Homo-oligomer: A and B are copies of this chain.
């Protein structure tokens, strides 16, 4: 996770902006030109990237929205990743892949090497076989990357599965993360977790089990999680959290009505400041 920590400190921000390029939510400046879909997505993503770069620790790419556009979408995904690298901004590939052994290794190669992301999100349903190949690729590349394992997610139906047993699934996943991580130069393990801002009780329990890990926190902004919920996820030193906001920032033009780069810049600055005001830092 060292690359993320370096970036968060350099930009004094624990904010991650997520790119979910949904065609029918693109701003009118782009939509009205009726370009081929992957061209619209390309322009939007590159502009958002450049606009938010000074305010964020990392950019998160939601692979699904590129994948749905076929091979041309994956060309855009590659180009956005390259542009982020040129800006020295780490990419978190939000892929949530969940396969095992050599299949997981092929996914790790795809996103961490072929497409050049620093970090990936991983789904632990299949156990450690699903996580280790990603950690091995991160360690092999030696570029300070990391893996965020889904632990307690922020969506409405998550609890029905993740809280339905004794012990709850999210605790079993947290213990898996604790076993697999190796400490980097800043003291953070290279295996972190995805812990939603909408389930503070589960979040506190996960923090007990993983006192040192970095949490990637979705559900901030659009999904209803706020600064107070984020505070309960911080470690004892007020750090260890990267907070993702996707649509509340990248579609800020829908709320503010101004030109989209301006709306996005303001929304990103506001979120960054709000997170600083609760004392979250890296």
Contacts and interface: CB of A to CB of B under 8 A. Distances in A.
Nearest to A131: B157
B127 A150 contact: no
A70 B64 contact: no
Interface residues of A, number: 56
Question: How many of these chains are in the complex?
Answer: 2
Interface stretch (A95-103, A183-191, A230-238): A95-103
A74 B132 CA distance: 25
Given A96-B99, A127-B162, A165-B172, A68 B114 contact: yes
A160 B128 CA distance: 8
13 contacts: A62-B103, A64-B99, A64-B104, A98-B123, A100-B155, A100-B157, A101-B155, A125-B162, A125-B169, A126-B155, A126-B161, A127-B156, A129-B155
Interface of A: 20, 22, 62, 64-65, 67-72, 74-75, 78, 96-104, 106-107, 109-110, 114-115, 123-130, 150, 153, 155-162, 164-169, 172-173, 176
Cβ-closest 9 pairs across A and B: A127-B157, A165-B165, A64-B106, A67-B110, A71-B74, A68-B110, A129-B157, A127-B161, A98-B123
